[in-house]
Chain A
Amino acid sequence: MDDFASLVAGFQVALSWHNVGFMAVGVILGIIVGVLPGLGGPNGVAILLPLTFGMDPTSAIILLSSIYWGALFGGAITSILFNIPGEAWSVATTFDGYPMAVQGKAAEALTAAFTASFIGALSGVVLITFVAPLVAQFALRFGPAEFFAVFLLTFCSFIGMGRENRAKIIASLCIGFLLAAVGLDSISGDLRMTFGSTELMRGFDFLIVVIGLFGVSEILLTVEEGLVFKGKQARIDLMVVLRTWAGLPRYWATLLRSAIVGMWMGVTPGGAIAASFMGYGLAKRFSRRGRNFGKGEIEGVLAPETAAHAAGTSALLPMLALGIPGSATAAVLLGGLLVWGLQPGPMLFVEQKDFVWGLIASMYLGNLAGLVIVLATVPLFAAIMRIPFSFVAPVILIVCAIGAYTISNSIFDIWLMLIFGVVGYVFKKLDYPLAPLILALVLGDRAEDAFRQALLGSGGSLGIFWANGLVTTLVVLALLLLCWGPAGDALAALRGRGRMAARAAE
């Protein structure tokens, strides 16, 4: 009941005129970011982060999280109209969304996608509202050892549940950790891995890395396929929206399933991308019309969008309650909180009540505003895609450079951004996952600090990591998750071999 009062107070904060204004601006910027290839959620937020340093933290986070909601909505527009996923999490939306557009049902597909997004996001926010305070309260008992165990759990679940090549996930995580270690060591005060360079003393700012890896590299990948896009026309009128909404209750099972999958994948750092594919896969398997999937089935649009948004929103839960982001964009938002002097984690719910509940209330309102704005402005944003890419690409790159420069007023950082852009291009082409790298870069220092503080407390004995029930459970869970993937692979391989043997016997 106490939380409910806080939430109402939060709505009062979020509903002030200028915060609603920031919400609308954020959603529109976010949709632009989501529609344009080369600008995604993580680096769209990263580029705009420096502009908000002067703002009041609550307004700033409302602006930035609204960009995130907008980007989630925007990704669907290009997937359906242009068959180009604006974001990786909307790849699964193209499977049925584009065929629907080809059949002239673009408006239905878009309405379904946006509404599904809204439902997914809403279920994520409800989860945050009710579960985040409990998790935070629980986490107040955590010491450094417990926190290290939670970090370990995060990284292990990446390795265990990732769909990419595991060696590459590990390599990517390690690169993130090592980049985080460069510079001044906060515990001993020594310089590490700077090799005498003064530029490296500051270490690698993860925002620079994000802009390079997600922004510049994305442009390079996009131009590979040429500089012209061809798309379908779309106009949404109220009748189509209402008709589509009337048909939605029939798909409640799909929506519910996708929302649950998404919430689970968002809280554990499986991410929106994996969630959207899982949502699609499950819907295809369980739907009565599963055979029509891929030919323009509305359920095939609903399932991945709900899951992606539920995951994208739920990813903020561990970020707020534990200080551990569930996705790359959440990691960037976490970086922003640190810049404003807010330490995410359980103490935030005690010390910065107004801020936390203002943010949660803004999630409800931001998504509602997003739904309305996106439905009203689809033709406008579809028109953005018709601007030749030879105009758009240099503008995006210039904005990236400005974003990289403003973080610490250093031209060296722009060069770093360029280098990470090329690295990101090569890594993406070779299927190295990038999200683990960013997460390790953000969390690396804190994981190491937690590790060393725990050992300082125990006088150097590793026994602290199984000293009590809580920390032991977390460590065991981490190891289980770590082994989950490889064990599954081994089972599948064994079964495959068995089947082959059976076939040979015939």
Chain B
Amino acid sequence: MSLPSETEAPEPGIARRPVEIATALLLIGLAGLVLYDSHGRGAGWDGGPQNGFFPARVGWIFLAAALFILWQSFRRPDGVFVSYAQLRQVVRVLGPLVLFVALIQPLGLYAAAAAFILAFMAVVGTSRWWSILLTALLVPVVCFWIFELQFRVPLPKGPLEAALGY
């Protein structure tokens, strides 16, 4: 019985306008920061441009463009920025990814990559457990072979690699 309303209303999600406004405000803040820094160091003309001259001019144009975007965002018809279903998918990737980057420092890249694959594939949950384990083992090993042994590109290593003698 809720069918008719479903076809008319768009998917539930975060509206576009608040995101557009927040982005514009962020850009305005950035422009302010640039102008503060450039004018602080000297953005004038001292027998030629000072080192803040160019960034300051770009900063003013940036500020004008950001203000215009802000004004536009109120005039455009609103839409959906991202539906909750889509957002859930994005978070499923982004969550493990943040974990991965955070683990690189303490564990080294290879162990962190294994943890990332385990976390990601478990969260997505479409694969069998043995294929998850196999991927989590094989991908870091192949990466190690290519980068460490073949191309001799040093990547961050942690206690595990140290224990194995690398």
Contacts and interface: CB of A to CB of B under 8 A. Distances in A.
B145 interface: no
A190 B52 CA distance: 10
Secondary structure dominating the interface of A: helix
Given A167-B72, A223-B92, A455 B104 contact: no
Nearest to A458: B48
Contacts of B113: 394, 398
Interface in A406-428: 406, 409, 411, 414-415, 418, 422, 425-427
Given A175-B62, A177-B58, A429-B81, A401 B121 contact: no
Nearest to B122: A390
Contacts of B147: 402, 406
B104 A401 contact: yes
Given A178-B55, A393-B120, A223 B89 contact: yes
Interface string B17-43: 001100100010011011001100100
18 contacts: A178-B55, A181-B54, A188-B50, A223-B89, A224-B90, A390-B127, A394-B96, A394-B116, A402-B155, A406-B147, A409-B154, A422-B94, A429-B19, A430-B16, A430-B20, A451-B49, A460-B47, A460-B48
B89 A390 contact: no
B94 A395 contact: no
A178 B58 contact: yes
B166 interface: no
Given A50-B153, A165-B72, A398-B139, A430 B19 contact: yes
Contacts of B37: 192-193, 195
Interface of B: 16, 19-20, 23, 27, 30-31, 33-34, 37-38, 41, 45, 47-52, 54-55, 58-59, 61-62, 65-66, 68-69, 72, 81-82, 86, 89-90, 92-94, 96-98, 100-101, 104-105, 109, 113, 116-117, 120-121, 124, 126-127, 135, 139, 143, 147, 151, 153-156
A389 B4 CA distance: 34
B101 A415 contact: yes
Main secondary structure of the interface of B (DSSP, over half): helix
A168 B68 CA distance: 9
A297 interface: no
Contacts of B153: 50-51, 406
Interface of A: 50-51, 54, 165, 167-168, 170-171, 174-175, 177-178, 181, 185, 187-188, 190, 192-193, 195, 216, 219-220, 223-227, 388, 390-391, 393-395, 397-398, 401-402, 405-406, 409, 411, 414-415, 418, 422, 425-427, 429-430, 448, 451-452, 455-456, 459-460
B151 A51 contact: yes
A397 to B, nearest CB: 6
Given A226-B89, A430-B19, A394 B143 contact: no
Nearest to A172: B65
B70 to A, nearest CB: 10
A455 B51 CA distance: 13
Given A174-B58, A394-B117, 17 more contacts: A51-B153, A165-B69, A170-B62, A170-B65, A192-B38, A219-B93, A224-B82, A226-B89, A390-B120, A390-B121, A390-B126, A393-B120, A397-B97, A397-B116, A402-B155, A405-B156, A460-B48
A338 B39 CA distance: 31
Contact of B55 (A192, A391, A405): A192
A402 B156 CA distance: 9
B154 A456 contact: no
Given A223-B89, A394-B117, A451-B49, A174 B100 contact: no
Nearest to B61: A174
A452 B49 contact: yes
A406 B101 CA distance: 14
Given A193-B34, A227-B126, A394 B48 contact: no
Contacts of A190: 41, 51
Given A177-B58, A397-B100, A452-B49, A220 B94 contact: yes
